[in-house]
Amino acid sequence: EHQQRAALQQQQIAERWPRPKWLKGKLNFGFTGASGSGKSSLINRILELQCDDARAAETDVVECTKEPTPYSAPAAVLGGVEATLWDLPGVGTERCPRDSYIQRMGLRYFNGLVILSAARLTEIDVMLFREALVWEIPCYVVRSKADNDIRSNSKRQVAPEQTVANVLRDLH
């Protein structure tokens, strides 16, 4: 009876949280966060691709990742493991509202998530992180665009080291 209950529960979860048809392969890492947080730029950096490379993720000052886009990461780049890095659309936009984002992007099926935050942690960043914890998905929170904060604070005579310390304190 316990096995039947467990099987029914798994079936209900699968119906509510279907695996996206586009998610293929064995090892998948999703790069998620708000639109403009630097997801595409980080993927390009990891894959050592310049923005003018045809294989690079598109970057712009306006939303450009409209669909989940896979980028193959060779074993040499990831320490001996081949994986697919998924550039996911930004959460919280008209195209990808936060209320349906987690389910629509199939976050529970990723082997790991990288949540990018371009400023202070937002409610959406925390929502994504908590969801990763619920599904026991290894998750990393990356604070991007710190160079902008360092530049901005330097105008107020704040040392770069102090700005970095403040950012790190905010992440805890």
The predicted model scores a pTM of: 0.80
If one compares 47 and 98, the residue with the highest pLDDT of the two is 47
Segment 50-66 shows an average pLDDT of 82
Parallel, antiparallel or unpaired: strands 139-143 and 69-73: unpaired
Does the structure show a pLDDT above 90 at 145? no
If one compares 9 and 124, the residue with the highest pLDDT of the two is 124
AA letter at 91: V
Per-residue pLDDT reduced to its tens digit, 77-129? 888 888 999 999 999 888 888 888 888 899 989 999 999 988 778 899 999 99
Does the structure show a pLDDT above 80 at 10? no
Q: Is 46 exposed, middle or buried (0-12, 13-18, 19+ CB in 10 A)?
A: middle
54 token code pair: 């045809």
pLDDT at 42: 93
Q: Average per-residue pLDDT in the chain?
A: 86
**Is 133:139 a contact under the CB 8 Å cutoff?**
yes
Segment 67-84 shows an average pLDDT of 88
Does the structure show a pLDDT above 80 at 2? no
**Percent of the chain at pLDDT above 70?**
96
**Is 55:74 a contact under the CB 8 Å cutoff?**
no
Does the structure show a pLDDT above 90 at 170? no
Nearest alpha-carbon partner for 35 in 93, 77, 79: 93
